[in-house]
Amino acid sequence: MDIINLLKEAVNYPLTDYKGWVMVAILTLILGIFQQLGRIYPDFLAIFGILSLIVAILLMGVNLSIIKATLQGENEIPMMDPVKNFVDGLKTFVVNVVYYVIPSILVFIISIIAGVYSNTEKFILSLNTTALPNGTASNVLSTVPSDVTNALFISVAIVAILAFVLFILFALLNLIAQARLAETGDILEAINIKYVIDKISSIGWGNYVLFIVGLFFTVCIVAFISTIVSIIPFIGVILSYIILESYILIVIARAVGLIYKA
């Protein structure tokens, strides 16, 4: 599998269909405007937050349509269908939530097993709270026995490492799940973790990790350019939303579709 050529095709994809890119760019611009208005007018934060969520869901649906078009061998960005895109966006949102909730639950269980909560309770009970009014925080902390502090530190460190690994793993699974959703339109198929793992195995875990690393660096480069451009007063932020953020969205969707059908 030629990962480099796959990524090159994804990077060049938005450049081959400017009309489709403009459509996505308009949505990212609208999303950016709503987000900025929410910051400027905090009294209307809830309203602009809801509007931002609606546009974000539409973008999720557009993202899914690009993946689906890629799986079907099409080389143009699909035209927007607001109703279908919104429904697909809701499905995508549900799948994203599932792939976030599962590792969250696992981390919670691991935290209990590792003794994070029990060690935290011991740590709190060991604090000499009577020293707090007349002493510094460091003096109060020094009253805690070292074995209690060490136990808490070790348990938190273990959970933090495992949490990092789990969330990264499920993020990798989620990308293939999005492609599965685009292929079938079925949420249950997308959250079929066994199928997703088997699909990655058929791609090759080495190839998939190499693909993710390459995609990550590609996105980082574009994001860096976006940050530089956004420094330009007023027009910089607009250009960042219109061109670069929409570009990243399209490239990722195309790349996911390509690796899935590889």
How far CA 219 is from CA of 122, 214, 245, in Å, comes to 44, 9, 10
Mean pLDDT of the 190-207 span = 95
Mean pLDDT of all residues belonging to the chain = 90
User: Which is more confidently placed, 236 or 144?
Assistant: 236
Mean pLDDT of the 182-186 span = 96
Mean pLDDT of the 188-206 span = 95
Cα(151)–Cα(153) distance, integer angstroms? 6
Which range among 95-104, 137-146, 208-217 shows the weakest confidence by mean pLDDT? 137-146
Indicate whether 120 pLDDT > 80. yes
Its sign, for the CA torsion 97, 98, 99, 105, is positive
pLDDT for the residue 122: 84
Indicate whether 1 pLDDT > 80. no
pLDDT for the residue 149: 84
pLDDT for the residue 51: 96
Indicate whether 141 pLDDT > 80. no
Indicate whether 172 pLDDT > 90. yes
Do 245 and 27 contact (CB within 8 A), yes or no?
A: no
Q: What is the dihedral of CA 249, 255, 256, 259, to 10 degrees?
A: 180
Indicate whether 145 pLDDT > 60. yes
User: Which is more confidently placed, 175 or 239?
Assistant: 175
Per-residue pLDDT tens digits for 76-107: 999 999 999 999 999 999 999 999 999 999 99
User: Which is more confidently placed, 223 or 5?
Assistant: 5
Do 20 and 247 contact (CB within 8 A), yes or no?
A: no
Cα(234)–Cα(55) distance, integer angstroms? 22
Taking residue 215's Cβ as centre, other Cβ atoms within 10 Å add up to 21
pLDDT for the residue 148: 82
* pLDDT over 70, % of the chain: 93
pLDDT for the residue 142: 67
pLDDT for the residue 136: 56
Please report, in angstroms and rounded to a whole number, the separation of the first and last CA atoms in the chain: 8
pLDDT for the residue 259: 96
What is the reported pTM?
Answer: 0.86
User: Where are the domains positioned within the chain?
Assistant: 3-261
